[in-house]
Amino acid sequence: MEVKILNDNKNSLDLEINNLTIAEILRVYLNKEGVKMAAWKREHPSKPAILHIEADNAKSSVKKAISSIQKDLEKYEKEFKSMK
């Protein structure tokens, strides 16, 4: 998976993500974190998604969202392994 930073300001961040599933998961978790806005768009199905984030500290919000995703994945993995 490839991610490019297109715009990096303190309060906004634009990321080009070539995986739509990752863009959507990040959007959901960023909105859970309470950012002002997190939305993605893409010009054409053959183009990568552009995730736009507006927050008091956008980079920090992305880091928190990724950390939350990792914790949830670990929890789900443990639950899945315990099922028999």
Report the CATH number that the domain containing residue 73 is assigned in CATH.
3.30.1360.10
Residue 66 is which amino acid?
A: I
- Tell me the whole-structure pTM to 2 decimals: 0.86
Question: What number is the average pLDDT over the span 18-22?
Answer: 94
List strand residue ranges (DSSP E) for 22-80, in order. Answer: 37-41, 49-54
Q: How many CB atoms lie within 10 A of CB 82?
A: 7
Q: Are 61 and 30 in contact (CB under 8 A)?
A: yes
Q: Which residue has the tokens 């961040």?
A: 13
Distance CA 35, CA 54 (A): 6
Above 80 in pLDDT, residue 84? no
User: What is the count of structural domains for the chain?
Assistant: 1
User: 25: domain range?
Assistant: 3-82
Above 80 in pLDDT, residue 47? yes
Supply 36's token pair: 């002002």
Above 80 in pLDDT, residue 67? yes
State the pLDDT at residue 53.
97
